[in-house]
Structure 1
Amino acid sequence: MKQSLELRASQQLTMTPQLQQAIRLLQLPAAELALEIREALESNVMLEPEDDTDHAVAAAAPEGTTPATPDPSEERLGSNATDATELGEGMAVSEHWDDTGHNGPAGATAEGDGGSDFLDRQAAPADSLRDHLQWQVDLSSLGATDRQIAAALIDALDERGHLAEPVSELRSALDADVDADIDEDDINAVLTILQHMDPIGIGARDAREALQIQIDAMPPDTPGRQTARQAIEADWSLFSPGRQVALREHLKVDQEQLDLALSLIRRLDPHPGSRFGETRTDYVVPDCRVRRVNGRWQVEINPEASPRVRINDYYASLIRRGDSSRDNSLLRDHLQEARWLIKSLESRRDTLQRVAECVVERQQAFLEYGEESMQPLVLRDVAEAIDMHESTVSRITSRKYILTPQGTLEFKHFFSSHVPTADGGECSATAIRARIRRQVAAEDPARPLSDSRLTETLRGEGIHVARRTVAKYREVMGIASSTQRKRLR
């Protein structure tokens, strides 16, 4: 094989680190963006959270007063330092977020709750089922041996709160760990106490027993209690859709008594342990807000979901020109990285503002009248309107939320496919689902609307859709079929 050198000219697209950072920040939701900025503030000495405190004090100062003269020894800390002016200054804040209860951007520190960090205000992880039960056992008057039995029972619970192991196997395990003699009656006695702790019904062998424990714990004079108890003990196949008549005949009650018992059963929890989890509860923080001002809809970016940072003037003033020392080079690198981050955040904020304004302009009818007035909209429509690539619109709307008069909604809620109407126009799939939901809610329970009837009703409103499309939308919304929705009077 002969080796040779060859020159070849070619073109290829290479993403710079700055562009990669900007693209990555575009798709980050509020919580992840706050974490990204916190890490940047901790690793880059040139960055500091932007604070409006000085601007607020200056604005509140009486007219004609002169601001206090700073200490001469601190003059080099301000943005008037020569190197700081040339190498980077803080950026002014223009956004505001009125009437929302959010007083400052994430990362800013101040006294009171208004200045606390966004991540610090997130919900703490909830107690697990085992921790919750063990806490109650510790507060009880159980003896040492019974506490060991209770701990073994708690360890034997599955994620639904049911007892996953037979009592006989638990007795064998306890015999090896406990010095005292334990029989199955001792274990069952402690199990009964455990089953009446919070949540009631915990430690049941199955869903039926969990419901029975919860029913028995109700006051004897609870309306429908006895019928509900008999229904739980009956064949569960009688609870299948369309078998209410057979269930009523089996229980020998009228429809009113049956409805009362079924209503009572629906309030019970067959899996009382499923409400506990190891995961934390995250609350949605809207990225922007839309409200009507002087008859026009305006979009505001939430500074808490899109926090600002700026160049620290003091550290910027330490950079010396012509100095190639290691410390000076490190400061220059930090300054450059800080500039890239600030520019990427500004680009993200500007893109979010433009996309939100375009979406609000297209969906003004929805903001005023609700889902039935939702207009068809796809990513391509927004991308063409604001002269951006469709992938950019997709990234900036991913996992972002907007606060509207109709509630806090994800951006993707405003995007839906086009469905042709009878007059040659187009209707949003979201609007069609809202109409179906309204018609089902207003139907006669004894004569529910079938998919064909719903299709005819929509056609009467000028929306021509196929019956299978109506059935698909109904199933997506979790609405049962007309046969399953039928209720006897």
Structure 2
Amino acid sequence: MLKQGFDLRLGQTLSMTPQLQQAIRLLQLSSLELQNEIQQALEENPLLEIAEEYPENAATSIAESPNHDETGKIEATEDFETGNDTAPSMDQDIPDDLNLDADWEDIYDTRSSSHNEGGGDNSGFLENQGAADIALQEHLLWQIRMSNLTAIDKQIADAIIRSLDEAGYLCDSLEDIFTLLSQELPIELEDVEVVLKFIQHLDPIGVGSRDLRECLLVQLAALPESRLLYKTRQLVEKNLDLLERRDYKEIQKRLKIEQNELEEMILLLRSLQPRPGSAYSASSPDYVVPDVFVRKIKGQWVVTLNAQVTPNLQVNQFYADLLGQAKSDADTSYFKNNLQQARWLIRSVESRNTTLLNVAKAIVDRQAAFMQYGDQAMKPLVLRDIAEELEMHESTISRVTTNKYMHTPQGVFELKFFFSSQIDTDTGSSCSSTAIRAMLKKLIAEESSASPLSDSQLTNMLKQQGINVARRTVAKYREAMSIPSSHERKTLVPC
């Protein structure tokens, strides 16, 4: 028989407060996402503002570098410049007594901020601005408008050009283009073919081709006639598949040529553009803004947050003082809520910066050899190592290292790049998978193009250096670096 009663128990539970939820969410945001978050908060919350100056000591930490490397050598390096200089102020003093006839140049300095006072060559600066951003279709349509084609031919050219992909190849068949245009224009299929030939000889030459063979032949046709050109045209017309398979002996047999002549033909083909439209890609390059800078000063690795990524926030004191002057409960509630949200955001951003700086410092401590010597000096490192050192959870370290970038003397890398698995060596030490990839890349870069190293040979060469890995592991690392097999890397002429 059940008996009702009261039972008092003591216990601890983890409560996810709104402030903690906000701190965790900000921790996993990238620098761009964080800037958008802060900008939105600045627009919605009048009690939040950006401080005029950023504290100089708020984002700096020093990670002492090892006094010596594995060989016992002590090496000093020059300071690594981060290039994080601030732009000069645009404010200028305006004289009180201003002449009504004064010119603009009398008041403002109209020279460009990039004015070359040292006498360097800036020729072509204006001409080069935005040239790479011109879309392929726009470039071709401009040439069509400047040509002496008839109105009907220009309409055909417009349809063809709009059927090109980013590489400059024709996506739709001429029959489909003709079927579409013939409903409104009195044309024949031959008219479309003639206009296509005209487009293929515009700039860039070869654009509008239907496959690689046609693209190369159009470009070869524009070169002066010679025996080399004649044989190269034969190679492209009838033996392009052999060239793709790198069957050089069969090519020499069919074309009845010597190896030196085949090498000249390959060099000629390399001078052509297999993707003629790639030079006019409309896509803009993506730039990575580092969250952390690392440089070596007087034998110590200095880790610094990028102050331009995260602005210094503060509470607007003018609006905060209005809290005591509020006359209604609604006004009081409004100011209190916004003041609380502003303080939460400021603390969350400060917590994010502190955590990011501590994690970056711990990574630099472990990977000081990489900072000095590069990929081959990378040490094995997992999330648990940093988590235990900083007394944090691995999930927190994972959030911090996602979409966060570090500017080092070796380049800009995502923080996750510095974590790699461990592989034991014959000497009893350990080696990271990143270091093995770097070794493989170096061995392949130094190989003979006529006789590339196979995966088995690469495995044996690593074993000679004390790194015992399986051949399938070497093949996996090679494929992960997008390096072709030894057969595909074989070539008569070095690249």
What is aligned with 2:168? 161
Aligned length: 435
What is aligned with 2:86? 103
What is aligned with 2:304? 300
Q: Distance in 2 between matches of 1:344 and 1:428?
A: 35
Equivalent residues of 1:125, 1:279 under 8 A apart: no
Any unmatched runs of 5+ in structure 2? 61-79, 93-111, 115-129
Q: In structure 2, the residue corresponding to 1:403 is in which secondary structure? A: strand
Q: Which amino acid aligns with 1:238?
A: L
Q: In structure 1, the residue corresponding to 2:413 is in which secondary structure? A: strand
From the superposition, tell whether residues 176 and 332 of structure 1 become closer, same or farther in structure 2 (CA, over 3 Å). same
What is aligned with 2:218? 213
Q: CA deviation at 1:474?
A: 2.0
Question: Does residue 284 of structure 1 match 2:288?
Answer: yes
Q: Distance in 1 between matches of 2:214 and 2:456?
A: 42
Equivalent residues of 1:227, 1:257 under 8 A apart: no
Q: In structure 2, the residue corresponding to 1:300 is in which secondary structure? A: strand
What is aligned with 1:16? 17
Q: Distance in 1 between matches of 2:323 and 2:481?
A: 61
Paired residues for 1:80-119 under 5 Å? 94-95=58-59, 99-103=82-86
Equivalent residues of 1:365, 1:373 under 8 A apart: yes
Q: Distance in 1 between matches of 2:452 and 2:211?
A: 35
Equivalent residues of 1:299, 1:356 under 8 A apart: yes
From the superposition, tell whether residues 209 and 380 of structure 1 become closer, same or farther in structure 2 (CA, over 3 Å). same
Question: Does residue 151 of structure 1 match 2:151?
Answer: no
- Give the TM-score, by structure 1 length: 0.79
Equivalent residues of 2:359, 2:397 under 8 A apart: yes
What is aligned with 1:177? 184
Residue of structure 2 aligned with 1:325, choices 323, 329, 345 = 329
What is aligned with 1:40? 41
Q: In structure 2, the residue corresponding to 1:408 is in which secondary structure? A: strand
Equivalent residues of 2:326, 2:332 under 8 A apart: no
The C-alpha deviation readout for 1:157-196, integer Å capped at 9, x for no partner, is 3454332333344334323334xx3233432332223223
From the superposition, tell whether residues 239 and 177 of structure 1 become closer, same or farther in structure 2 (CA, over 3 Å). same
Equivalent residues of 1:227, 1:258 under 8 A apart: no
Equivalent residues of 2:295, 2:409 under 8 A apart: yes
Q: Which amino acid aligns with 2:213?
A: R
Q: Distance in 2 between matches of 1:113 and 1:19?
A: 45
Question: Does residue 364 of structure 1 match 2:368?
Answer: yes
Residue of structure 2 aligned with 1:192, choices 185, 197, 216 = 197
Residue of structure 2 aligned with 1:351, choices 343, 351, 355 = 355
Equivalent residues of 1:223, 1:260 under 8 A apart: no
From the superposition, tell whether residues 110 and 308 of structure 1 become closer, same or farther in structure 2 (CA, over 3 Å). farther
Equivalent residues of 1:125, 1:281 under 8 A apart: no
Q: Distance in 2 between matches of 1:327 and 1:295?
A: 56
Q: CA deviation at 1:141?
A: 4.3
Equivalent residues of 2:82, 2:293 under 8 A apart: no
Q: Which amino acid aligns with 1:19?
A: L
Equivalent residues of 2:207, 2:276 under 8 A apart: yes
Equivalent residues of 1:450, 1:481 under 8 A apart: yes
Q: CA deviation at 1:295?
A: 0.7
Q: Distance in 1 between matches of 2:443 and 2:301?
A: 30
Equivalent residues of 2:380, 2:421 under 8 A apart: yes
The C-alpha deviation readout for 1:53-96, integer Å capped at 9, x for no partner, is xx9xxxxxxxxxxxxxxxxxxxxxxxxxxxxxxxxxxx887448
**Mean alpha-carbon deviation: is it higher for 365-374 or for 255-264?**
255-264
Q: Distance in 2 between matches of 1:185 and 1:441?
A: 50
From the superposition, tell whether residues 197 and 20 of structure 1 become closer, same or farther in structure 2 (CA, over 3 Å). farther
Please give the root-mean-square deviation of Cα atoms over the aligned residues, in Å.
Answer: 3.5
What is aligned with 2:75? none
What is aligned with 1:248? 252
Paired residues for 1:363-402 under 5 Å? 363-402=367-406
Q: CA deviation at 1:44?
A: 1.6
From the superposition, tell whether residues 245 and 190 of structure 1 become closer, same or farther in structure 2 (CA, over 3 Å). same
Q: Distance in 1 between matches of 2:396 and 2:389?
A: 13
The C-alpha deviation readout for 1:237-284, integer Å capped at 9, x for no partner, is 202445111122222222232223223334444444466666543201
Q: CA deviation at 1:233?
A: 0.8
From the superposition, tell whether residues 399 and 192 of structure 1 become closer, same or farther in structure 2 (CA, over 3 Å). same
The C-alpha deviation readout for 1:27-50, integer Å capped at 9, x for no partner, is 222222222222222222222223
Q: Distance in 2 between matches of 1:36 and 1:18?
A: 15
Percent identity, aligned pairs only, is 44
